[in-house]
Every structure is written in C-alpha cells, then in structure tokens.
Chains A and B, each alone.
Chain A
Amino acid sequence: MKEIYLDNNATTKVDEAVFEEMCPFFCELYGNPSSMHFFGGQVQQKVDEARRRVAALLGASPDEIIFTACGTESDNAAIRSALEVFPEKRHVITSRVEHPAVLTQCRNLTQRGYRVSEIGVDSEGRLDLAELKAVLDADTAIVSLMYANNETGVIFPIEEIAAIVKAKGALFHTDAVQAVGKVPINLAASNIDMLSLSGHKLHAPKGIGVLYLRRGTPFRPFLVGGHQEKSRRAGTENTAAIIALGKACELAGRTMEIENTQVKAMRDRLQSELMARIPHARINGGAAERLPNTLNIAFEFVEGEAILLLLNELGICASSGSACTSGSLEPSHVLRAMGVPFTCAHGSIRFSLSRFTSDTEIDTVIRELPPIIAHLRQMSPFGREFLKEQG
C-alpha cells in the first residue's frame, strides 16, 4: 500500500537532493572538522558553508547559528541560558499552547521557585497580547513563545511580541520549528534574541537542530566540553546532518513560495471540500492567520483515534489531538486552551501537507473521509441522537 503522508508537522521526508548532499560525509569524508589536517579541514569548510546557508534563510549572520541535536535541545538551551545570565530574575513567560519542549521545562521551573506565567489564547488560538503586557515586568528573565503552533498552525505576531518584550529588558526566544521554511523570517530586522529550528521539519534528517543566538546576546552553554560552535555547544559536530540541513535551508529559500501557493491551495481545497461534505465539523484556528500547510479539523460525536486508524487502513497518515492517541486521557492542551468544546475536541484531526503532497492524494482524502465519519457517527450514541434530531 502506498502511503498518503499528511503528517508533515510530525516529521518530513528527507529531500533526495539533501540526502545526496550528506551521503559522502559518512564513509568518505568522515573527518573531524576540528582536526589539524586536510582531511578534517575539508569537512570544516562544508560545515561553514552549511552555516552560511542556514543563516541566509533566516537573514542572520553565520556566527549567530549554533548547531544542536534537535529543536528540543535548542529550546532547553535558550531558556536555561537566560536564567543563568539573569540569576536575579525569577520570572518566565510562555504560553498555554506551547510545545512540550518549552512547556515542560517551564512547568518544572515552578518547582525551583520561579514564577511562570502561561499566556492564554482565544477560541481561534490567538495569543492574548494584553495578558502578556500585563504580566511582563522587570523580574522577567525570558519570554518564550512559539512562532507557529504545531497542532493548529496558528501563527503568533512574533515581531510585535519581540518588540514588547525588548522594551521591558527581557530576552525573547521563539520556537520556530514549524515556521522555518514556511513563512519568511528576517532576523536582521527583528527583535528576536533566540530562535529554535529543527531539521526534520524542513526535509533534512532527524537529529539536527539550530539555536539562533543574536550577536551580543549573553549566553551560557547547555553542553560544555570542547570548543565546538565557539564553545557555545560542545560535542563533535554531526557533520553529515549539518551539511544536510544547510542544503535543506538552501532549498527552503527557493520552495517557500510553493508552500504559500500550491501547498496552501491544496490545504484550502481539502478544508473547504471536507467542510462541504461533512456536517458538524469545525476548523480549529480557522479564523486566525495560519501556516499554509496545516489543517486541524474537528468532527463532532466521534473520537479521533478511531478516525486515524480507519484512515490508516487506507494508507492515509494524519494525527489527532484526541486523548486516546497520546495515551493521556484528556484532549490536547492546545485545544483545551482554545476552549474547543468537548463535543469536538476528542474528534480533532490534523492534516499537515508538504511540497511533496499531490492533488490526487488530497482527492483521495476528500473521497474517503466522509464515509469514515458517517460510519463512526452511526456507531456513536451521540452521533445517532444527533442524526435522529436531524430527522
């Protein structure tokens, strides 16, 4: 069975050009970039090139790019560093819809005596800027807010937020893991101090991330040891993955337009066709500004895991904010923060597309999903009550 992969916010296919670029760095060009011989030196040059390519995509300088092992490491490093450089400040701000890479760390901080403010969102997933302004004070060490939400695709007004934070003297970090490569980012004209990205969300392999650190921003490393990454992240470089990420960023600069035209058109068609064919559905975050590739759609009276497994039978790969998929017992923290009613939170499905998605694949989902929802509703006591009311 050929898969229809619509779970690109979870991870993406490595672009074949990216794979080709990284291949020689396993068995042939395996030198250590720190070595004092030509064999390592030539790898160093390729790492430098990758750094320039990543910087170019972000409008940053190469020396502002620190390679890490993943988005989670970048997030952890950013927040920990801010607390170390401002030991007297005991307040941290994040949002209720943040990725666990940030949220878990912040919640752990409360046990170490920090005040942590989690800013809420409205029913469309938009950040409450008034609340942010109200809690931000001179005691705030760092504000960490995501660029775009992984579940709903809702984009926060990051530049506006960064300016607000800057004015109060706190550091501003953004987890841009879902945004890089999909929305244009120009750090040269920005107040963002730190930004995290992850390779495998933009067609590079897993196990490579970046922490952007604005020049002049005080920093304490998370990993200490060797002098790699200008002593800001010790550990021998994952050279093949770094080189792959450089290539992926170079490609992303060229394909960003495709994301915002072709991919967006496919997402919009999937959304409008499903809404037209399936009664009692709603788009989570539909009225907010969203990533062009993400559709989070809720179906009342049915449960998400059951939908996913029936889609899975047809080779269609999506994900769900339902409780049952994750093994937790409550629907996703993002949907709960948005106040999505329980009648549909359990039946929420996320489709996330990429430039490798085809129109034929979208056609298949448009054709196959309505009967799946109808089947489950017919089996659900609430669905049946609703169908009866409808006559």
Chain B
Amino acid sequence: MWDYTPTVKEHFLNPRNVGDIPDADTVGEVGSLACGDALKLYLKLDDNKDRIVDAKFQTFGCASAIASSSALTEMVKGKTLDEALAISNQDIAEFLGGLPEEKMHCSVMGQEALEVAIAKYRGHEVKPHSHDHDHGPAYPDQEGTIVCKCFGITDVFLKKVIETNKLTTAEQVTHFTKAGGGCGGCIPRIKELIDEVMGSRQTEEPRKRPEKLSNMKKMQMIQEVLERDIRPLLWADGGDLELIDIDGPKVQVAFRKACAGCASSGHTSRVVEQKLRDLVAEDIVVEEVAA
C-alpha cells in the first residue's frame, strides 16, 4: 500500500474545489483517459484580470492525483497570475507533506495544468495535437518533439522537469513525468536528455556533423561514434554491439549480450542510426545482422 501522508489522504477524502466555473477566465486541460490521469483546471480572475479569485478542478486519476489537484486549487486562490506561475511541482508536493516518488508525476500534472491555463489566458499560442498516436499527447500544449510515444511527452517538457527537480536517473524521470513507463523504448533518449541538462555545465562544444567526408574518414568516424557514444550506453544496460561491415551508407551491426535477441533491439538499432546520422552523415542506414 502507498505510504500517503495524512494531508494527501485528507485532500483525497475531502477534496476542495471540485467542479467547474461556468464563466471561468481560463481552463487548463492536461492528461487523457489512456494515460490514466487527467486534470481540468478552471480559473476565475478579479475585475483587474490579475488575481485568481476562484479555482475549481475535475480530475480523473488516483488518490495522489486528486489530492494534488485539490492542493493546487487551494494554493492558487488569492495569487496573481505571476505569483501562481512561480508555483513548482515541488511546492505542490510540499504542500501535501510529500508524495511517494512514484507519484511525483501527479504534482507535475498539477503544475502543468496551471501553466497551460495561464498561457492560454495570456493568448500564447497553444499547439494542436500534433501526432496520431492512439494515446494522444498528455500535454498537447507543450512545444518540442515527442520523446515518449506511450504518454506523448516532449523533450522540452522533460528537460524542464529534469532541471526543476534536479533528476539524475531515467527511473526518476519516469516517476516524475511517466515518460519511459510504457514500452520503455525512449529510455536511452531520456538518459541523453539528463546528460544534456545536468551535464550542460561541463560538456565540451557540441559536436557537429561535418559537411563532406571521404569514405575513409567516414568509416573512421562511424567507428569512433560507436566506440565513444553508443557502446557505453549499451553497456549500461548489460548489452553490447559489434560493427560487422560498412558498405557505402549501410552500416551493419550485430547485437551482443543483453541486446542479442532483446525484443527492443529493433528500437536500439534506430537509436544507433539516429546517433550516426546526427554525428556522421545523414544518409546512414543501420542494419542489424545475425550475430
């Protein structure tokens, strides 16, 4: 059983501000039925259109999602829009006396709904649903590229949550955002994002793809990228790969150890391919060959 704090339990059993505001100034919606939780947040502003005078919510989700929504509505009432925007997901969790780490995504959902509602009110462009996956994006208003296809979560959003919460492992990112909690195919990308955000201070100049390459140079670079950027990633998951052959743009690799026969090796070859395209040449095609 989850170890919920008394405040979480209290807000779950007696949620504040459930309902809607028919003449709300703005409404923020995040999540979906498929994802397992969703929040619709209504905000009513004062006559100067600056201070939040009322907030109501509807939530589909578990106890901590309902408690986080209830807490959020209590926290924003009486605040100006700018003050409300300063509320972080950590603040929501703290208001509740803490959340189990696996449930931190509930506080993130609350913060996100608030941000969406205020952005909408201020007339910021709200991006339409931009892809066709069954789940639909959890946070349709987020800019960026979808990283987690199962839960529709973008790189921009992930980087923000990683930075705000100082996350260092992919598991933490899953607990805070759900990303990586479905098929797990995006976990290598999440690790890269963590490195980008948390390691940004010490990383060297971002490497760029050179304009033109001789065949010899290209083969050398492919080998370098495999050794330096890809194999260490696979080792971390107990896997490995071996370069079998390079024929023009075609790079043949064989997966070893945990990667061999792994159900997601097809996905791994796509990751390898992307990395080689980013760092060596755009036309590279990675083929998996039997070990």
Contact = CB atoms under 8 A, between A and B. Distances in A.
Query: Do A and B bind?
Result: yes
A379 interface: yes
A187 interface: no
B261 A329 contact: no
Interface in B1-45: 2, 12-13, 15, 18, 20, 29, 33-34, 36-40
A329 B37 CA distance: 10
Interface residues of A, number: 33
Interface string A286-307: 0000000000000001111110
A111 B66 contact: no
Interface of A: 107, 110-111, 113-114, 301-306, 309-310, 313, 322-325, 327-331, 342-343, 346, 378-384
Interface stretch (B83-91, B174-182, B226-234, B270-278): B174-182
B181 A111 contact: no
A143 to B, nearest CB: 20
Interface of B: 2, 12-13, 15, 18, 20, 29, 33-34, 36-40, 58-66, 102-103, 150-151, 174, 178, 181-182, 258, 260-263
Contact of A379 (B15, B29, B36, B37): B15
Contact of B181 (A110, A303, A309, A330): A330
Contact of A346 (B33, B63, B102, B150): B33
Given A306-B12, A328-B181, A330-B182, A111 B260 contact: yes
Contacts of B181: 328-330
Label chain A's interface by main secondary structure: helix
Contact of A306 (B34, B66, B262): B66
Given A329-B151, A381-B38, A303 B258 contact: no
A110 B261 CA distance: 6
Nearest to A328: B181
Nearest to B177: A329
A301 B151 contact: no
A343 B33 CA distance: 6
Contacts of A305: 2, 62-63
Given A303-B65, A309-B12, A322 B58 contact: no
B182 A303 contact: no
A303 B263 contact: no
A121 B244 CA distance: 40
Given A329-B36, A343-B33, A303 B262 contact: no
Contacts of A382: 33, 38, 60
Contacts of B150: 330
A303 B37 contact: yes
A363 B181 CA distance: 38
Given A111-B261, A328-B181, A342-B34, A381 B58 contact: yes
Contacts of A107: 263
A381 B36 contact: no
Contacts of B59: 379-381
With a 10 A CB-CB cut-off, give which of A107, A114, A306 has the most chain B CB atoms: A306
Contact of A323 (B33, B36, B60, B262): B36
